[in-house]
Amino acid sequence: MQDRANHRFVVTRHDFSMLLATLRERGYLLLGPTLRDQAIVYDEINGAEDLPAGWTDEQEAGQYKVKRRDDNALFAYNVGPHSWKKFLQLPSLTLWKAQKTDNGFKVEERDEATPRMAFIGVRPCELRAIAVQDQVLTGGDHIDPDYARRRKHAFIVTVQCTQAGNTCFCVSMGTGPRAEEGFDLAVTEIIDTHRHEFVIEAGTDTGAEILARVPHRSASEADWQNAQSATQRTAEQMGRQIETSGIRELLYRNAEHPRWDEVADRCLACTNCTMVCPTCFCTAVEDVTDLAGQTAERIQRWDSCFNSRYSYIHGGIVRPSTRSRYRQWLTHKLAYWHDQFGSSGCVGCGRCISWCPAGIDITEEVAAIRANDGGGMEQGRKTNE
Amino acid sequence: MGDHQCPKLAVWKFASCDGCQLSLLDCEDELLALAGEVSIAHFPEASRAMAPPPYDLSLVEGSITTARDAERIHEVRKHSKTLVTIGACATAGGIQALRNYRDVKEFTSIVYARPDYIDTLATSTAIADHVPVDMELRGCPIDKHQLLELISAVINGRQPNIATHSVCVECKLRGTVCVMVAHGQPCLGPVTQAGCGAICPGCDRGCYGCFGPQDTPNTDSLGKVWLQADRQPDELRRVFHNFNAAAEPFSEAGSKYGQDDHS
Ligand code: SF4
Ligand code: SF4
Ligand code: SF4
Ligand code: SF4
């Protein structure tokens, strides 16, 4: 969209509810953050009343806690256990279903009706994660049709981060805490003793059109400065960081680093890091039949490189040890994702750190390898041990 | 399909509580379809009709705790084309394998008025310790969806989809908030094999490990996580020495945290 400066507006807290109501009226399914089971999860919401008003989260390696704030901010928390991938690349999906016939089988017509989804509260790191998944699942010769269908009509309301969590490191990865593109609307929440309002920027014509239906005023230079400084402060509060210079080569030349053994002692091979990661895209395919052998179904579901059978190829499991699985995961994220897809596979959201039951921290692992670059590799181990 | 072509199903009971066999009767909606696809040749819990061997598919519940059963399982094996063990007793010795850590004579003298009537082995062992087993279904009790999946795979001549990874995978697929990370509750999910659908975390409690160890269980690391969260070593011993006390990774793990003699 051209001339973005003319597409900056201010909407009051009251009218922000109208914005969501307008999206609903336009036929969008509202998906957004809501408080459930002592966490801020992503789910279907009815409107602004379901947002986690007045709640925030505190995160550390292996720890997540929601806490009450002393105001009613709608978006004063960071990312939780869910990511938008659960709506775009479904956790479990029937790819096709077939019925047995007298002379073979017949594949059933698929119901390809896809809801028009509006994602409310996509953080800058998550916006980048969606772009990464777009590249992986629709950027090559073989497009994932289901993902593409869901993605096509998704309306994205980004929320710029006005605070950083302890496990956030978007500044290192160049993905946040302010998004410049890729959204329909981008919101900065401004809350203090005098006001509670939202500085909103339209990134697409659809975004501008929706916003036009909601009472608003044009953002002044001061409003815009306010919004900018809120995210600047966030950038200075990053809980974690990764030194990314030469990271690809660093990891490639340290494939036999003793640190992989140390992390393997702690790693539970439980898959939580990959399940919560907004860019991890691996799936397994399972074929099932009914008892009578009349119907067969092919189901695709999330899988993980931490599972032994993930690396099963004819004759055996290629990565039997947890050491080889952790190394595969981290090296893929930060090194050969660049070779494969032209970007980093990590956007710095910190979920894998918070939701690892053993509290393993990707930033700490990289730092340890860098601190002892090439160290202790003279033993010359076999790569898959 | 005419009855004569149906695969013959047999269900056998060894030392167990019958809960796993009952999962078969619990299949309610699918039971009629099942009855149409297999002929139930031997299932004393459900029917008095007994057809002679051989059997195409034998489901074996229970562990080996008597000399007689140690012989009987060889008979069952001989008469079964495919033998599948079902449940923690059959696959790992069950809760009764707690005797393996104690003197069984001491138990019988406490429990029975006439311990001399009791003729039992010193240990409770898994079926696979006695005869070759083709497939196993874990759980205390087993999961009925896994049971139906296995039977339909055997009937249709395909591989069953029985995962050997952690419970965490299922927990995350259903979108459950991790009870260990977010609620500070101890959970055995990371070292336990999936199959239950992560029921316990879904009800806001930690996994009890009833499906036994996953294929790469790091019990040492999970033990450290629990201890750091102020859990006592004795609690760790008890959770590992539970339904799957004799499954090797859990047996070893539990013994690291104390002696069962003092329980
Ligand atoms: S690797 Fe970790 S920090 Fe990076 S995007 Fe995935 S979950 Fe977020
Ligand atoms: S990593 Fe950055 S963009 Fe993501 S939630 Fe944290 S502060 Fe926001
Ligand atoms: S790094 Fe953590 S979350 Fe990932 S598999 Fe290992 S223990 Fe599980
Ligand atoms: S609740 Fe338990 S099973 Fe679920 S993810 Fe957490 S540790 Fe794993």
- For the stretch A143-165, pLDDT in tens is 999 999 999 999 999 999 999 99
Domains and CATH numbers, chain B: 3-155 (3.40.50.700), 167-255 (no CATH)
Residue A296, H or E segment: strand A295-302
Same domain as A252, residue A193: no
A162 found inside a domain: yes
Listed residue (B166, B202, B191) closest to B242, CA to CA: B191
The pLDDT score that the predictor gives to residue A376 is 62
Higher model confidence: residue A1 or residue B220?
B220
Q: In one letter, which amino acid is B69?
A: D
Per DSSP, helices labelled H in chain B are 19-25, 28-37, 67-79, 87-92, 104-111, 144-155, 167-173, 179-183, 199-202, 219-228, 233-240, 248-256
The answer on A221 and A77 residing in a single domain is yes
Smallest CA–CA distance from A90 into chain B, residue: B173
Residue A383 pLDDT greater than 80, yes or no:
no
Q: Which residues of B132-143 are buried (b: 16+ CB within 10 A; e: fewer)?
A: ebebbbbbbbbb
What is the ipTM, given to two decimal places? 0.95
pLDDT band at A222 (very low <50, low <70, confident <90, very high): very high
Query: ∠B37-B41-B43 over CA atoms, to 5°?
Result: 105
Q: CB-CB: which of B158, B204, B215 is closest to A308?
A: B215
User: A357 in contact with B at a CB cutoff of 8 Å?
Assistant: yes
Residues A130 and A78 reside in one and the same domain: yes
DSSP string, A161-187: -SS--TT--HHHHT--SS--SS-SEEE
Give the whole-angstrom CA distance, residue A70 versus residue A88: 34
pLDDT of A382 above 60:
no
Q: How far is CA B1 from the centre of its chain?
A: 32
Cis peptide before A215 (omega within 30 of 0): no
Give the pLDDT of residue B96: 95
Pairing of strands B8-13, B39-42: parallel
What is the C-alpha separation between B186 and A240, in angstroms, rounded? 27
Last residue of a domain, one of A235, A258, A290: A235
Per-residue tokens: A58: 């505190």
Asked if A360 and A266 count as a contact pair (C-beta separation under 8 A), the reply is yes
Is the model's pLDDT at A304 over the cut of 60? Answer: yes
Q: How far is CA B99 from the centre of its chain?
A: 17
Nearest CA to ligand 1 atom 7: A277
Q: Which helix (H) or strand (E) holds A249?
A: helix A247-253
Q: What is the pLDDT of residue B1?
A: 41
Residue A126 has, within 13 A of its CA and on its CB side, a CA count of 28
Q: Is A271 in Cβ contact with B225 (below 8 Å)?
A: no
Identify the nearest ligand to the CA of A79 by its number.
2
pLDDT(A379) > 70? no
Q: Are residues A201 and A122 in the same domain?
A: yes
CA of A277 to the centre of ligand 2 (A): 13
Low-confidence ranges of chain B (pLDDT < 50): 1-4, 262-263
Query: Do A40 and A151 fall within a single domain?
Result: yes
Is-cis flag, bond preceding A258, omega within 30? no
Record the tokens describing residue A293, joined without a space: 């052998």
Contact between B231 and B246 under an 8 Å Cβ cutoff? The reply is no
* pLDDT category of residue A315 using cuts at 50, 70 and 90: confident
Cα distances from B23 to residues B94, B102, B169, B208, in angstroms, run 17, 31, 24, 19
**Nearest bound ligand to CA A237?**
2
Which structural domain, as residue segments, surrounds residue A321?
A: 247-282+305-378
Q: What is the pLDDT of residue A381?
A: 54
C-alpha A193/C-alpha A201 separation (Å) is 24
Same domain for A174 and A211, yes or no, is: yes
DSSP line for A49-70: GGS-TTEEEEEETTEEEEEE-S
Chain centroid offset of residue A333 CA: 13
Each residue's pLDDT tens digit, A236-257: 999 999 999 999 999 999 999 9
Domain stop point among A235, A269, A291? A235
Asked, for residue A296, whether it belongs to a domain, the answer is no
Residue B263: what pLDDT? 44
State how far residue B44 is from chain A, nearest Cα, in angstroms. Answer: 23
Q: In this structure, is residue A108 part of a structural domain?
A: no
User: A20 and A164: one domain?
Assistant: yes
Statement: residue A385 has pLDDT above 70:
no
Whether residue A90 contacts residue A114, with contact meaning beta carbons closer than 8 Å, is answered with: no
A198 and A271 both lie in a single domain: no
Rounded Cα gap, residues A20 and B16, in angstroms? 57
**What residues contact residue B187 under an 8 Å CB cut-off, 6+ apart?**
A357, B178, B179, B180, B200, B201, B206, B207
pLDDT value at residue B258: 86
Rounded CA-CA distance A245/B38 in Å is 63
**A197 and A252 inside one domain:** no
Is the pLDDT higher at A375 or at A79?
A: A79
User: Is A374 found in the same domain as A274?
Assistant: yes
In sign, the C-alpha dihedral spanning A134, A136, A139, A141 is: negative
Interface contact B181-A41, CB threshold 8 A? no
Q: How many structural domains does chain A have? A: 2
Distance CA A81, CA A277 (A): 9
Assess if residue A242 is contained within a domain.
no
Residue A103 covered by a domain? no
Does a structural domain hold residue A336? yes
pLDDT in tens, A86-131: 999 999 999 999 999 999 999 998 888 899 999 999 999 999 999 9
First to last CA, chain B: 55
% of chain A with per-residue pLDDT over 70:
96
Residues 326-355 of A with CB under 8 A from B: 354-355
pLDDT exceeds 70 at position A134 = yes
Q: What's the CA-to-centroid distance between A344 and ligand 3, angstroms?
A: 20
Q: Please state, in angstroms and rounded to a whole number, the distance separating the CA atoms of residues B51 and B59.
A: 15
Q: Which atom of ligand 3 is nearest to the CA of A355?
A: 3
Alpha-carbon distance values, B115 to A115, B98, B110 (Å)? 68, 19, 8
- Residue A5, pLDDT score: 66
Q: Does one domain contain both A145 and A26?
A: yes
Q: Shortest CB distance from B158 goes to which of A270, A287, A356?
A: A287
Contacts of B153 in chain A (CB under 8 A): 289
Q: Are residues A154 and A179 in the same domain?
A: yes
Q: Element (H or E) spanning A302, and its range?
A: strand A295-302
Which pLDDT score is estimated for B47?
81
Residue A308 token pair:
């032994």
- Distance from the CA of B70 to the center of ligand 4, in angstroms? 38
